[in-house]
Chains A and B, each alone.
Chain A
């Protein structure tokens, strides 16, 4: 389909290893968001990309977290030296343009488990 896709669906890693999570937004969507969802909790905002503007990284919890996006296409979220508290579902969303009236479409998420 033409929805937001994320890969991998599940990732199990050992503490201290680096992981890279991928998000393919809906074609034509200029805004892209990364969220973290810990078990039984709501979503925590991580980072926001809008077109070619500088990303808003205000939600990144530590300098071990970084994200990139090339133009209005794929984004990758990288977590370095993973810790057990990084275990969560990482959700990506995109929208046509930013704004409350523009629905954020979510991907199925990547479940990260750090052993």
Chain B
């Protein structure tokens, strides 16, 4: 069974600093998708960035980028020039392509609470 592990329950950095959130996963599949979602106090889950496993190039979205290490099954999120509005829970999620035969289920990590301090 696939699992997703986020080993950092909480992190805190000063505004404008760079922060990296870690995520590891376990799967026997070769092709899959990985996601980082942000959940601010409003509870609204927002997609931050996604990575397709067959693409070697790391995905980037403005200040957000990932370090995808397929062999190590690692998918970390780097937030550059952090802003107060980045304060939220961050969840790493996995979707295997085999699951597309059934329910396209996302497997979620437990989340990392990120606090950006002024």
Contacts and interface: CB of A to CB of B under 8 A. Distances in A.
Interface of A: 31, 40-45, 48, 56, 58-59, 89, 91, 93, 95, 98-101, 103-104, 106-109, 111
A31 B102 CA distance: 12
A101 B59 CA distance: 13
Given A40-B110, A43-B108, 15 more contacts: A41-B111, A42-B4, A42-B91, A43-B91, A43-B106, A48-B105, A91-B43, A91-B45, A98-B100, A100-B50, A100-B97, A100-B104, A101-B33, A103-B47, A108-B42
B47 A45 contact: no
Nearest to A97: B104
A56 B101 CA distance: 11
B6 to A, nearest CB: 8
Contacts of A111: 43
A6 B34 CA distance: 26
A58 B108 CA distance: 16
Nearest to B34: A100
B52 to A, nearest CB: 7
B103 A100 contact: no
B35 to A, nearest CB: 8
13 contacts: A31-B104, A40-B110, A45-B103, A91-B45, A95-B104, A98-B100, A98-B104, A100-B50, A100-B95, A103-B47, A104-B106, A107-B44, A109-B43
A31 B100 CA distance: 12
B91 A48 contact: no
Contacts of B91: 42-43
A44 B107 CA distance: 8
A48 B103 contact: yes
B43 A42 contact: no
Contacts of A93: 45
B111 A99 contact: no
Contacts of A59: 105
A56 to B, nearest CB: 4
B64 interface: no
